[in-house]
Amino acid sequence: MDQHPTTPGQGLTRPSHLRPGDHIVVVATSGPVEPERLTAGCEILRSWGLRVTVAPHARDTHPALGYLAGTDADRAVDLQSAWLDPTVDAVICARGGYGVHRMVDLLDWTAMSAARPKPFIGFSDVSSLHEAFAQRLGLATLYGPLAAGASFVSDRPTAEHLRRTLFDPAATTVLTSPTAGPLVPGRARGVTAGGCVHVLASERGTPAARPSYTGSILVLEDVNEHPYQLDRLLTQFRRSGALDGVAGIALGSWEGCGRPERVRDVMLDRLGELGVPVLWELGFGHCPSTLTVPLGVPAVLDADAGTLTLDGPALTERSD
């Protein structure tokens, strides 16, 4: 299995930005998709001038396990086919839920590494794929809204931030929100990585898991986890060595995780001893209005200013 470990301070390969007329494919890698939301999300993508294809199995539901969007093999084939198709310029996931862990090892990563890099978008359960794209393809990705997700179809700022990131990435190099502020003050430089806490914790101990997030600005968020469950997940992170050498941490939303002050207490207890800056509530993840956060990109975290500033655009200029 090929691995592309991140050198501290050095980002991963960045795909090219999109233009009107480009082709994007919607894949369902995790849970079953709500048809109305899928239709609404595709209409938004088309309104940006994109040609939109829904993958063949994106509307499936597993015949026995109703929490999955089709069989593991079919979900893997949809993603791999879209990635290998030279006419496809970007791939976006339809929704989260659960299922990526079951299909990620069915992908032919050797074949996928030979394909043209392209933007890959999603969050929540898709965190496992972000890690795989970083470790196995050495590719920067976008921790952003899902094509059939509630925030994407109902919140205009969410969709607009993704659109600007894809089409005009130089305009979205500074990430902040009204709720952002220091949990642990300070400033740090590193390469962005991370995602949904409970998904990333499930990666620990698997063959594809990176040894640690050394040199990373680690972005973390979650949903519907009680404070004691967040404590357990972060303790697993610490005990596994995942947080060894981390440069700084940017926290996103904690919808359904209990009172914010209780969540803050857990974060300060589990992360405060690391001696690195920790930014509270940057405004990404499972929240009604969410930012798109590039992963695998060098950035500066300024907890006091409430900002995560990329060294450059998340996507590169087109060569054609």
Rounded Cα gap, residues 123 and 158, in angstroms: 13
In this structure, what DSSP letter does residue 77 have? H
Q: What is the distance between the alpha carbons of residues 74 and 310, in angstroms, rounded to a whole number?
A: 36
DSSP state at residue 63: S
Q: What is the 3-state secondary structure (H, E, C) of 44-62?
A: HHHHCCCEEEECCCCCCCC
Closest CA to 254 of 194, 302, 196: 196
Q: Quick one: tokens of 17?
A: 């930005």
124 is catalytic: yes
Catalytically annotated residue among 57, 62, 130, 286:
286
| Catalytic residue flag (residue 34) | no
SS3 107: coil
Helix (H) and strand (E) counts for the chain?
10, 14
- Dist CA 299 CA 277 (whole Å): 13
Catalytic residue from among 203, 221, 225, 281: 221
Separation between Cα atoms, residue 76 and residue 217, nearest integer Å: 29
Catalytic residue among 30, 124, 127, 177: 124
How many angstroms separate the CA atoms of 257 and 224, rounded?
5
User: What are the CA-CA distances from residue 75 to residues 30, 52, 93, 238, 274 (Å)?
Assistant: 8, 18, 11, 32, 38
**Backbone phi, then psi, for 174, in 5-degree steps?**
-110, 115
221 is catalytic: yes
The CA-based angle 227-215-248, given to 5 degrees, is 40
Residues recognised as catalytic:
124, 221, 286
